[in-house]
Structures are given as C-alpha cells and as structure tokens.
A and B are shown apart, each in its own frame.
Chain A
Amino acid sequence: MSARRRIAGLAVASVLGALALFAVSAASAAVEVRKVVSRSGIVAWLVEDHSNPILSMSFGFRAGGSFDPAGKEGLAELTSILLDEGAGPMDALAFQKKLESLSIRLEFEVGRDQFHGSLRTLSRNRDAAFEMIGLALTRPRFDADAVERMRAGLLSGYLRDSRRPRYLARRAFWSSAFPDHPYGRPVSGTTKSLGAITRADLQRFVADNLTRDNLFVGVVGDVTPAQLEVLLDKAFGGLPAKRRARPVPAAAPKLEGGLVVKRFDTPQSVAMFGQPGLPRRHPDYYAAYVLNHILGGGGFTSRLYLQIREKRGLAYSVYSYLWPMRRTSLLLGAVATENARVAESVAIVRKEWTRIAEAGPTAEELAAARKYLTGSYPLRFSSSSRIADMLVGLQFEGLERDYFARRNGYIEKVTLADVRRVAKSLLKPDRLTFFIVGKPAGL
C-alpha cells in the first residue's frame, strides 16, 4: 500500500513537480543531464555529482498492477517484494545479508503503471550493487518458502487495509471509475487473488514485463559516464530485449457526478472526489497545473485549504491534484471531516469547484501561484535519490532532457486567459463524484 502511494506521489510530485524557476533558477540550470548509452544499448540519464561517495539510481519499467491478469491481482506487487528474496546462487537470507553487509539499499515498488526500482550505494560497493540488481532482475529464485512468507505478509496487509477508511474510499473510487478496466482492480490484491498466484505467474510476469525496451534509468552521484556504461550492462544487459505483455487499453473514467456512501463505523468520514483530468502532454497541461495549485494544491494558500480548514476548521487536510496516468487522466482530491459536519465539507468543495470553473482565478492568485511554483522548483533537487526519481519521471513522460532548465519557463508562459479558459473547459462540477466512507450525517 505504501508502495503504491509512493508511486502515485512520484508520478504527481516529481514529474509534474519537475515543474518550477526562480529567475530561471540557478539550481535547475546547474543540473546537467547527460545521456549515457551502454554497449548493449541501455540508456540512462545521468547527473554527475562527486561531492559525496554515494550513487543513487532509479529505474522503472512500464509494467505495474494494471498488467496483473484478472483474478491474479497483486501479482506485480508480490513480484516486486520477491525479487530481492533470493536470486542466482543466493537464497533470501544470503541475498539480504550481502546487501546489508555492503550497505546497499535496493528496493522495488509497484504502481498501476510502473514497476520501479531504486538503489543507493556507497561508491566503494558500486560494482557489487549493480551485479546484485542484475541477479534480482534476471535470476530471481522465487523459492517456495520465500513466496509463502511474502504472500502471508501481503495478506496481512490486505486484511489491515480492508478496515481502513482511506483504503475503502480509494477502492470505491477505482472500482466505480474503471469498472471494466485493469485500473479498477486492487493493485495489492485480495485474499482470493493473492492465494491464486503461482510461481509460474511470477516467472511469467518477470519475463514478459521486465525487458530492455521497457526500461527507464536515472542515475545521480559519484560516477563518470564511462564507468556507468559498464555498470548499466551489469545490471540490465541480461534482460530480454522485447516486452511480451499486452499493453493496457486506454480508458475514460466513469465519473458522472453524484455521491457514493459506504457506511463504516468510524467517527470521521473520509471523502475522496474526482473527475476526468488531462494528459501530461496536453497543450493545456501547465495551465491546468497552475489552476489546480490555486484550487487545491500545495502550501497553505489554496482555495480549498482556506475555505475548509482556515475559515471553518472542517478538516486537517484537504487537497486536489492532477494525476495524468498512462492510459487515463484524473483530477482527484480528498478531505476528512467528522461525521456530523462532512456534508458541509462536500458542499464547499462543490461550491469552490463551480466558482473557479465559472469565473477562473484572479490575476493576484495567478501571480502568487507562479511565484510559488517557480520559486519552489529548485527545492526539489535536495537529494540524489529525489533527482534520480525525477530523471525517470521525465523519461516516462517523454519530456526533454533539458526539461529542468525549461520547466519554469512553461509555468511563466501561462496567462490569466489560459487559466480561465482551462478552468471552464476542464472543471466539470456536475461530473465531480464523491466517494465517502464513514457515517456521514445527512448524506
């Protein structure tokens, strides 16, 4: 579960996020992104930084929970936590011991669209680290006792989640918005689907999805391009060339407005809300991004934040965000309010949605949003692993290699007329659909 949320964060925060300039920020301009190609053709985007003896790598395959076969939900997730539970000549304990003894952190996690890995190592253990990745990706053992152990862990997690209001609200949302599409299925599986996964399923998932034509790599740290070329082949050179998994079809979210309530005994209702969004490469994307910032974005200044929290104390947290996925686009948000008053929160979200759709933001709001979004952009470059994640995000979305230097320019170019036009065309108050878990009074 946390893995899934993190990838969501990755898509939203870092890719989009990879949006901001202070006077075309020195920070982002200073980050030079080089393209490195290994002998076997593996491509990586590299930011060299020799200030600490550390290397961070992020890598992703276009393959996540949405590639799970029906009835085998949780397959990608189970695969991701098994890759480092034994590979090649090492069983789970030996593999983990080796990672730990070399202080190598290797993690895999899964979202709907992405199978993501991250590595952090000291320079002195670089070679071993890349060899370990190669083993994990090409020779995972899937030993029976490791499979059963990790399956039991996911089952426990599922049972815990299935009583959490937030999880239930998310499930209600996904299953309603994508009733006949893989996006509608639970990425981390259910008791039944997790029980149905076999060793052959795991092996097939790896063979079909973790392939070279499907891979994006970002590296930051203490390594030269020449050194990296060699390392890339150690980690990824042995992968199959071509993906065999069938692509997931595009889907329009079925969000027709209204409100779905799941009764659940808890003092506070969790409300998730959403409507269709727009794709990452859409010409209006930046205008929509600025618009969302004003409506429900980060910091303590959005309209939803001011109206719901700052003025009325209705919630601790309320927000909205654009989520351009691979095969669909969403504009989502969430708020949690005690049962007695949650109807008021819902009414205010609707009202603010309508108000900004009709009149758009003010010139002052646009100016403030621009200042915040461009000024805070350099802050994203605060650790190697964050930058590595951003490098993968850029490649996933097909953005330019010099995007870091251009990004604030895209934000600066957004005019008041753009934001007002997009507010009208994008925001659909009558399609904004609420999914509420709790005992909401009056709903």
Chain B
Amino acid sequence: MNGRRIVRRAALTGPAIAALMLTGGPMAAGVPAAAAEPERQGLFNAQTFTLKNGLRGVVIVNRRAPVALHMVWYRAGAIDEPAGKSGIAHFVEHLLFKGTKTLKSGEFSRIVAANGGRENAFTSWDYTGYYQFVARDRLPRMMEIEADRMANLVLTEDNIVQERRVILEERRSRIEASPSTILWEQARRALFLNHGYGRPIIGWMHEMAQLSRQDALDFYRRFYGPDNAVLVVAGDVDPAEVRRLAEKYYGPVPRLKAPPHRRLLEPPQRAERRVIYRDRRVRRPSFSRMYHAPGYNSSGAEHAYALQVLARLLGSSSTSLLYQSLVVRRKLATAAGSGYGASRRGPSSFYLFASPRPGVGIDRLEEAVDDELATILKKGVPKEEVEAAKRQLQDMAIFARDSLRTGANAIATSLTIGRTVQDVEEWPARIGAVTVDQVNAAARHVLQRRKSVTALLLSEKPAEADKAGEQRQ
C-alpha cells in the first residue's frame, strides 16, 4: 500500500522505476531470500563483517554485469522522530544531498552522475537508506562520499527553506492529491494507539512546515553514525576487497556518542474503530480494514511466518479466497485482497480491501467480507491452499536472486530491524515449515475486530460527482 517507503525523487527515467521504488507491497521488504537449491548453501550467500566502529557490512556477489550496488541504511525512520517533529526523518534524507565540510551543496549528485551512477534514497518507519548504482570500479569513490556525509553534513538556512518547500510539494503530490491515501493516513493513526507507526512518514503538513535546521541537525547527530548503520554492497565485487575499502573509507568515521535504542510498545487493543472519509473526488466507494498484527520483533512474533502464508492464500491474486468469493462467486466486488509484512522493528498490521461493484452498498460488501472471514475462522483454511501458498512464496525467493536489488534490500532490512542475514537465507525453509494449524492459529490471533480499524472511502454526493466527471471528458 501507499507510503511504506518514500523516495527522494520520483524517477525521471520512467514510470516503471518509480513504481518499483514506491511499491512497498507487503512483500517488498519482507520477501527475502531464496529457496535453497541443492548446489547452493543459502539464497544469496551473503558475507558479513563488522568494523571496529560498529559498522556492519554485507557483501552479495552477483556477476551478471560489472556493476555494484552500494547502499547505506540507518536504523532511523519515522518511528524515531521526537513528538511534534513528524517528517524529520524524511526531511533529513533529502538534506543529505546538500553539502558537507568538503562538498558544496548538490556536488554529491554531480559526482555520482559524472561517474555514470544512478542514485536515490528512501525513508520508512524503521529505516532510512541511500544508494548508488555504479560500474564496479567506481565503488571506492562512492564509499568516499557516502562516508563523508555520514559525519560531515553542513546545512544552511537557505537549504532548509528551499528543501522544506520541496517536501511540502511532495506531500501535496503523494497525499493531498489522492483521497485513498488521505484515508489510509487517517486509518493508520487510528490503528496505532501509542506507536510511531501511526505517524505518516512524510509528516503532517503543519509540523513539516515548522521543521528547522536545528531539528534536522539534532536528528542527524543522534542517528547517523557507523554503529547505527548497515553497509550493503551487491554485484560483481570481491568480498575481501569490499571489506578493505570499507575499512579505508568508513573505518575512520567516529561512533555515535550514545547509540540510540528505544522500544515503544502498544497497549492492549480493546475497541474496534471506524474511520470514514468522504471526498468530492471519490466516485466509487471502497472498503478496507487493518488489523493490529505482530511483526518479527513484536509480541506474537511466532505467528509472523504463518501470517505471510495467510495473506498469500487469502488475498494475493485472483485465485485467492477473498477474490474468488467476493468478486467471482458472489459478484459483489470488482477487487478484493489482503496484505501483510513482518519486517518491522515493532508491531505490524494485516490488511484487507475490497471495492464494491456498482449498485452494491458498502455495508453489504463489508458484511460479505466478515462472512467470509467467519467461515475461514470456523472451518479453517484449506490444506491444499496452504501448500500452494507456501510453494509460491518459496518460488518467489528463487526469482529474487535474479535481481541485484531484491536480495540487497531483504538483507539490509533484516539487519536494520535487528535480525540477521541467516533469517533471510533461511526464509524459504521457515515458510516451508508452516503448518495448517499454525495458519489457523495466526488467523484467530489477528482477525479480531476489536484489534482493527475499518476504513471506508465514500463520495460526498455521489450523483453530482458522477455528472461532473462525465462532463470533463
């Protein structure tokens, strides 16, 4: 769904890339690694090291082309923001493209471009990441400038005024232009009673408008350092050489004074919530529901693998249970599905969505969704569906090896949220070990309305809205 990650800039090179970067579908970060083939030990066979200053390094060798993907991820995201400073993590991400003690504002990107590199950055609730994609012989230069901005950022008031306008425009593009995203933002705020996961990554408009140079520097100094970062290099590289380069360029960067760690817990979820948003731009209503759900690192984590199987069989495609029931057999909806991601530092959510066919009331659709869930909870999920879902997930892991970025992202996510490379390498086996009973137990654990927010997107005045839209054609 929208907003899991936001990037510095919508790619210019084409919509396909923008889509890739923005899709934080449930699997994007959580689907890691791959299926173990007999002749290979792990999915990606990643190698790791740790420097004296605490920087952890990962190398994934992939010799398809003489290129290297160089990434640094910080364990710092929207959930780490101080109260009243929503959006600061993402703002800092933008500001890292300004100057340092030795580089002028904008020079970083000129250097990357002059080396034929592509670059960008992204911010999530749990982390912020930066990458350059270059010919492999350009790796040292990229490390040099990335290490530089890890410690030596310089910001001027002009930088702040200008870039703050950019993020406000970004918010207008991403959120204000889209009624469903506005609702999604409201619903997340309702889902998390206490946790920063309820905060929009891009920030609330009124707080973004007040973010200052000092706010940015405070956040930067608190979170940007080698002992709060993960370095990932993937591509046609030699692991020993990468380590040597990392020591040379990142080794001298000083540790943070006090490595930040905080863990926020959610109180018990006791009351079902409903969020209803009416917008003149809406011409077709839609239904969605988010359930509070465990991630790999929160209480209930034993359900995390089973929930991935559940999301797959319940609503990942046109053969899934929800689609077959609501769209195909009962003809109440034009779309229906579900999603879930486990890769979080804290709690996660499991969501469902459905769009009614014309003439079908949103209440009737919601009732049908609840009927379907009740049946599943009562009778249990079909064994053959569980087996099919597991196999599909495992096969996705093999496909993941084809792309440089998928493995690198999966491993970086894992390390950033406090898990291990092994967790990624063993993901296919752990999915394979999920049983029907575990899927049913996970469903019972999560699919409880008292732990949910139901979000309805409605048009303000349906009849008039339709008329106005037609005239525009």
- Tell me the B residues contacting A by CB distance below 8 Å: 9-17, 19, 37, 63-67, 97, 106, 109-110, 112-119, 133-135, 138, 161-170, 172-173, 176-179, 280-284, 317-319, 324, 327-328, 331, 334-335, 355, 357-358, 388, 391-392, 395-396, 398-399, 401-405, 465-466, 469-470, 472-473
- Output the least CB separation between A93 and chain B (Å): 6
Inter-subunit contact B16/A156 (CB<8 Å): no
Q: B residues within 8 A CB of A241?
A: none
Inter-subunit contact B284/A156 (CB<8 Å): yes
Does A371 make an interface contact (CB < 8 A)? yes
Inter-subunit contact A51/B166 (CB<8 Å): no
A6–B117 CA distance with the chains assembled, in angstroms: 23
Q: A residues within 8 A CB of B176?
A: 266-268
Inter-subunit contact B97/A300 (CB<8 Å): yes
Q: A residues within 8 A CB of B469?
A: 159, 162-163
Inter-subunit contact B403/A51 (CB<8 Å): no
Inter-subunit contact B334/A100 (CB<8 Å): no
A100–B320 CA distance with the chains assembled, in angstroms: 10
Q: What residue of chain A has the Cβ atom nearest to residue B317's Cβ?
A: A100
Does A209 make an interface contact (CB < 8 A)? no
Inter-subunit contact A162/B473 (CB<8 Å): yes
Q: A residues within 8 A CB of B281?
A: 163-164, 265-266
Inter-subunit contact B15/A381 (CB<8 Å): no
Q: B residues within 8 A CB of A2?
A: 15, 19
- Output the least CB separation between A22 and chain B (Å): 5
Q: B residues within 8 A CB of A96?
A: 317-319
30 A-B residue pairings within 8 Å (CB atoms): A8-B14, A9-B16, A13-B16, A13-B17, A17-B14, A27-B65, A49-B64, A85-B318, A92-B328, A96-B318, A122-B398, A152-B357, A160-B284, A163-B283, A171-B473, A191-B470, A266-B281, A267-B176, A268-B172, A297-B12, A298-B11, A298-B118, A300-B106, A313-B169, A314-B169, A374-B116, A375-B115, A375-B116, A375-B134, A383-B404
Inter-subunit contact B282/A190 (CB<8 Å): no
Q: B residues within 8 A CB of A379?
A: 65, 67, 116-118, 133-134
Q: A residues within 8 A CB of B318?
A: 85, 92, 96
A12–B65 CA distance with the chains assembled, in angstroms: 22
Inter-subunit contact A265/B283 (CB<8 Å): no
Q: A residues within 8 A CB of B170?
A: 316
Q: B residues within 8 A CB of A297?
A: 12
A85–B317 CA distance with the chains assembled, in angstroms: 12
B117's partner among A156, A315, A375 (CB-CB below 8 A) is A375
Q: What residue of chain B has the Cβ atom nearest to residue A301's Cβ?
A: B113
A116–B469 CA distance with the chains assembled, in angstroms: 30
Q: Which of A43-63 contact B (CB under 8 A)?
A: 49, 51-54, 56
A211–B112 CA distance with the chains assembled, in angstroms: 45
Q: Scoring A residues 261 to 300 as 1 if CB is less than 8 Å from chain B, else 0, what string do you get?
A: 0100111101000000000000000000000000011111
Query: Which of A176-184, A304-312, A352-360 lies at the interface with chain B?
Result: A304-312
Q: B residues within 8 A CB of A337?
A: 169
Q: A313-B163, A382-B403 are in contact. List 18 more A-B contacts (CB 8 A).
A: A6-B19, A26-B66, A30-B66, A103-B391, A152-B358, A156-B284, A163-B281, A190-B473, A265-B281, A301-B109, A313-B161, A314-B169, A315-B166, A317-B173, A368-B113, A379-B118, A381-B67, A382-B133
Does A433 make an interface contact (CB < 8 A)? no
Q: What residue of chain A has the Cβ atom nearest to residue B174's Cβ?
A: A316
Inter-subunit contact B166/A17 (CB<8 Å): no
If A103-B391, A321-B12 touch, whether A30 touches B65 (CB-CB below 8 Å) is yes
- Output the least CB separation between B80 and chain A (Å): 23
A9's partner among B14, B106, B161, B403 (CB-CB below 8 A) is B14
Q: B residues within 8 A CB of A149?
A: 327-328, 331, 334
A92–B317 CA distance with the chains assembled, in angstroms: 12
- Output the least CB separation between A122 and chain B (Å): 6
Q: B residues within 8 A CB of A266?
A: 176-177, 281
Q: B residues within 8 A CB of A190?
A: 473
Inter-subunit contact A311/B388 (CB<8 Å): no
A342–B24 CA distance with the chains assembled, in angstroms: 30
- Output the least CB separation between B176 and chain A (Å): 5
Does A165 make an interface contact (CB < 8 A)? yes
- Output the least CB separation between B43 and chain A (Å): 11
Q: B residues within 8 A CB of A27?
A: 65-67, 135
Q: B residues within 8 A CB of A138?
A: none
Inter-subunit contact A300/B335 (CB<8 Å): no
Q: A residues within 8 A CB of B331?
A: 149
Inter-subunit contact B173/A159 (CB<8 Å): no
